[in-house]
Structure formats: structure tokens, C-alpha cells
């Protein structure tokens, strides 16, 4: 059992800050809002707290001054391990652009994300303003009051050459990103063209440097080698924490929404860009693993076992939205010339509520046809029309809809539920040739 995640602010000497406010320094998780007091005694803000070492009912070894907190209502503050929303270990040599990622984007000499077994690599290229980025197929909404926990393991060059820019975290890109304007709305770690690592956000294109991590002008937390390092971001719109190589090593944070992105629903993003002056060599951002989790457990519902961000939806009426198995679109009759009545095979409705049928006539000639959507009675095997159109005699696209709750329109819209077994009949009203096709879309 883990304590509530959230870094504890410290003063410049590393001591815990009291309830009166936060001070910069080396933060650790979990957060504690006041100085620990005796068990069942009231501390700052009505909070009751006690050092772990005094809690004989808690097992395990306390580290340093780590402590548990008890709220005024007598509840011990704890947190479960976060639940997984997204995971990519690059276990094959092919990037999954069907389920996890959009197709990699690269232009102007940038090197597109290219999977190697166990990693993918993006390159700045050696042409000024060349760029490359990789973006998840899904954008993830905040889970307040919980956190989105972003974690990745990446390698970057060391020493870092000038005129190479890198970013990893959550974010969106402009149409043609540059090192000067690389992102639109974002939150993550970046390495500037001067080689400095920064905890950063972007607000509709405006950069907000939250914490300089460089040795020369920052807090010195920037890794000084080219080994893989772990980067964590605890993210919600009004509070963000950046950590390196462990969730207890907080290297930067925001305490209000003011420095955060203007748009908080963001995809996972990795970016490599060449500066306005061409770099001497292509800078490579190597991504070894990517994970996104939810500390609030919001995906503990009907979710896909492999891709848990795919979740069931229930509408305002309490109806579970179900996609028809095998796809929503059906070709009932391919385009051809017909002189006789055409009857489709029986169609199976695997959970849809209705259907939209399109009769597209491309060569009417002197022919005439009338369409009917028919429901099959399972007991007798007979068919009854749910919707019958008017005679079609011209080149035209004709739409017929059966769906419950719609406003009825004679010969084109029926307010009815599509049964499990149904078919369409296109009756030839004369023997003259007519060319048409027939398609359908299942409606859930």
C-alpha cells in the first residue's frame, strides 16, 4: 500500500515546508501539509497526522521523516498504485500506428521515428529547421482530483550539441514546428538548442519555463550522461510535478493552473528538431518505453484488456453503446445493371439499433425500382416491410433510415428498431435496365 502521491515541498536546506506555503528545493513524495503531531491530535488546518514510526499498526520501515497523515474525519490518507492507460515497450520492429500511434511525422530533413526492437528513434537531421515527431493516436483528458502519470525512459546525446532541440511529455504541435516554436499546448521535458534541460509548458504556442535543470543556470538536476534515464510527470491542469529517475526526486513543479497549458486534453508527444542553424550531426532521441497511468483508477470500468483507453460508453438514457461486430458499413449490392428484382441475403444485426441504406442510381435509363427494408419473423420465416420507398426513375442517391426515436418521413425515415435478421428488396417495376448499387451503415 502506497501513501498518497504528491511531492512534499521543502525549503532551500531540504527541510519540510510547513502549512504556511511551499518553498523551492528538493521535494519528495508523498506530500504532507503540516508538521506531524501526535496521533489523534489536531494540526494545521484541522488535519490530524502522526509519524509512521509511531503508527504501530503500519508495517514497513519508515525512510527518513516519511510520515502518514490522518484527516480530521479519522481517515488515513493512502493511494493505490495507478492504473494503466497506455503502454508501449517497442517489442517489435514495427511501430503500431493502428492502435497506439499516429503515423510518424518528419519534414525538412528530420528523421522520422523508426522502430528498433526495444526502442524507437527520432532524429533532428542536419538541415536547419528539419523536424520529426511522434504522437499517440489518443489524447488523454485529465483525471482530477487524481493525476495522469506519464513515464518514459529515454536516451539523449551527451554532450549535447548545440542547435538540437528535444521534447518528451504531453503536447500538440503546430503545422510546421521549429526549435523556436515547437509546440502548441504541452507539458514536458525539453532540451533547448543551447543544451539546457527545462521543465516546460506551452500555452497556445507561448513557452513557459517552469524550472531550468541545467548545471550552469538551473538547479543542476539535468543528467550528465547519455545513459537511459526515467522521466515522470504527475499531470493535471492546476498542478504538475516533474521527476527524474524516481517519483521521489521532484525536480520542478507548478502549484496553480496559471502556468499550465490552455488545453489540458493532450496526446503523448516526442519531438526532435534541428535549430535555425543546422546542427553538425543529427541529434537522436531514443525512446525505450512509454507509459501513461491514472492515479484515480478511472479506467476501472468496461475497458479493452490490451488498449485500456478504449472504454464503453453509456448514453443519457442508460443505454450501453455497442459497435456492431464486423464493422458498421456493408456493401449489399455492388454496382451493376439489373433488369429484375434484387433481394439481398439475410443480414444479421449484432447489436445495432437501426440502419441507413443508400440506393445510388447511376444509369436510370427507362427503368424504375422501389426499395423496401424488411424485418424477418423468426417463428414463421416471413418478412414484413419496415420502410418502403417511392419508385426511383432517375439518376439519384436515395437514403432510407430505420432508427428508433427519429421523426418519421414518409417513404424515407421510419421510427423503428432494426431486428436481429433483416434484408433489403429492390423491386424492378419494369424490365428495363437500371444501373445501381446498394450499401448500408449500421447505427448503434
Domain of 421, CATH number, reads: 2.60.120.380
Determine the average pLDDT of the residues in 268-290. Answer: 97
Residue 322 has, within 13 A of its CA and on its CB side, a CA count of 12
What would the pLDDT profile of 332-357 be if each residue is shown by its tens digit? 999 999 999 999 999 999 888 999 99
- Tell me the three cell numbers of residue 197: 534541460
The two beta strands, 383-388 and 369-376, are antiparallel
Residues 57 and 11 occupy one common structural domain: yes
306 found inside a domain: no
The CA distance from 259 to 241, in Å, is: 12
Q: Nearest 5 degrees, angle CA 119-CA 121-CA 127?
A: 175
Same domain, 237 and 349: no
Q: Could you give the count of Cα atoms lying within 13 Å of 219 in the half-sphere of its Cβ?
A: 19
Residue 363 pLDDT > 60:
yes
Where is the domain boundary, 61, 79, 97?
79
Q: Note whether residue 322 is domain-resident.
A: no
**187-232 pLDDT, tens digit each:** 999 999 999 999 999 999 999 999 999 999 999 999 999 999 999 9
Q: Let me know if residue 97 belongs to a domain.
A: yes
Q: Is residue 323 part of a domain?
A: no
Q: What's the pLDDT tens digit per position in 114-166?
A: 988 899 999 999 999 999 999 999 999 999 889 999 999 999 999 988 999 99
Q: At which of 56, 79, 102 does a domain end?
A: 79
Domain count, the chain: 3
- Find the DSSP H helices in 382-428: none
208 and 87 in a common domain: yes
Mean pLDDT throughout 374-384? Answer: 95
Q: Is 307 a member of any domain?
A: no
105 and 176 share one domain: yes
143 and 283 assigned to the same domain? yes
135 part of a folded domain: yes
Q: Are residues 232 and 176 in the same domain?
A: yes
Residue 342 lies in a domain: yes
Quote the domain boundaries for residue 267.
83-294
Q: How many CB atoms lie within 10 A of CB 431?
A: 9
Are 167 and 183 in the same domain?
yes
In CATH, what number is assigned to the domain containing residue 115? 2.60.120.200
Whether 63 and 198 map to the same domain: the answer is no
Do both 72 and 53 map to the same domain? yes
Residues 93 and 220 in one domain: yes
Reported as a single tens digit per residue, the pLDDT across 71-97 is 677 777 777 788 889 999 999 889 999
For residues 395 and 285, membership in a common domain is answered with no
Q: Quick check: is 320 in a domain?
A: no
37-46, 148-157, 278-287: least confident range: 37-46
Total residue length of the chain: 444
- In terms of C-beta distances under 8 Å and separation of at least 24 residues, what long-range contacts does 198-207 make, across chains too? 199/242, 199/251, 199/252, 200/167, 201/240, 201/254, 201/259, 201/260, 201/261, 202/171, 202/261, 203/260, 203/261, 203/262, 204/262, 204/263, 205/174, 205/181
The reply to whether 162 and 218 lie within a common domain is yes
Amino acid at each position: 500500500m502506497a501513501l498518497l502521491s504528491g511531492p512534499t515541498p521543502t525549503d532551500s536546506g531540504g527541510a519540510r515546508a510547513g502549512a504556511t506555503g511551499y518553498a523551492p528545493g528538493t521535494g519528495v513524495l508523498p506530500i504532507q501539509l503540516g508538521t506531524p503531531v501526535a496521533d489523534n491530535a489536531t494540526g494545521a488546518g484541522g488535519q490530524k497526522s502522526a509519524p509512521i514510526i509511531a503508527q504501530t499498526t503500519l508495517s514497513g520501515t519508515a525512510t527518513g521523516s516519511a510520515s502518514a497523515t490522518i484527516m480530521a474525519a479519522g481517515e488515513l490518507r493512502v493511494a493505490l498504485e495507478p492504473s494503466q492507460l497506455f503502454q508501449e515497450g517497442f517489442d517489435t520492429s514495427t511501430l503500431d500506428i493502428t492502435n497506439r500511434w499516429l503515423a510518424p511525422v518528419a519534414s525538412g530533413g528530420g528523421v522520422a521515428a523508426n522502430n528498433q526492437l526495444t526502442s524507437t528513434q527520432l532524429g533532428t537531421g542536419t538541415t536547419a529547421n528539419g523536424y520529426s515527431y511522434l504522437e499517440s493516436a489518443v489524447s488523454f483528458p485529465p483525471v482530477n482530483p487524481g493525476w495522469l502519470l506519464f513515464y518514459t525512459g529515454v536516451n539523449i546525446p551527451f554532450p549535447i550539441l548545440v542547435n538540437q532541440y528535444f521534447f518528451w511529455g504531453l503536447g500538440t504541435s503546430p503545422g510546421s514546428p521549429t526549435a523556436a516554436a515547437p509546440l502548441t499546448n504541452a507539458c514536458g521535458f525539453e532540451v533547448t538548442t543551447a543544451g539546457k534541460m527545462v521543465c516546460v509548458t506551452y500555452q497556445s504556442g507561448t513557452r513557459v519555463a517552469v524550472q531550468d535543470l541545467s548545471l550552469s543556470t538551473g538547479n543542476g538536476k539535468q543528467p550528465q550522461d547519455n545513459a537511459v534515464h526515467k522521466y515522470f510527470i504527475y499531470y493535471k491542469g492546476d498542478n504538475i510535478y516533474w521527476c527524474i529517475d524516481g517519483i521521489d526526486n521532484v525536480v520542478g513543479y507548478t502549484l496553480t493552473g496559471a502556468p499550465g497549458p490552455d488545453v489540458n486534453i493532450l496526446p503523448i508527444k516526442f519531438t526532435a528538431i534541428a535549430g535555425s542553424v543546422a546542427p553538425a550531426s543529427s541529434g537522436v532521441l531514443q525512446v525505450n518505453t512509454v507509459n501513461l497511468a491514472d492515479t484515480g483508477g478511472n479506467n476501472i470500468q468496461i475497458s479493452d484488456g490490451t488498449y485500456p483507453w478504449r472504454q464503453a460508453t453509456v448514453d443519457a438514457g442508460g443505454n450501453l453503446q455497442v459497435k456492431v461486430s464486423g464493422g458498421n458499413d456493408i456493401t449489399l449490392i455492388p454496382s451493376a445493371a439489373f433488369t429484375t428484382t434484387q433481394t439481398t441475403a439475410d443480414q444479421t444485426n449484432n447489436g445495432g439499433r437501426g440502419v441507413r441504406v443508400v440506393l445510388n442510381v447511376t444509369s436510370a435509363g427507362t427503368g424504375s425500382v422501389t426499395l423496401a427494408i424488411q424485418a424477418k419473423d423468426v417463428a414463421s420465416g416471413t418478412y414484413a416491410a419496415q420502410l418502403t420507398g417511392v419508385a426511383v426513375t432517375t439518376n439519384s442517391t436515395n437514403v432510407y433510415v430505420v432508427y428508433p426515436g427519429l421523426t418519421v418521413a414518409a417513404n424515407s425515415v421510419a421510427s423503428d428498431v432494426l431486428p436481429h435478421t433483416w434484408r433489403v428488396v429492390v423491386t424492378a417495376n419494369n424490365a428495363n435496365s437500371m444501373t445501381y448499387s446498394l450499401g448500408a451503415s449500421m447505427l448503434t
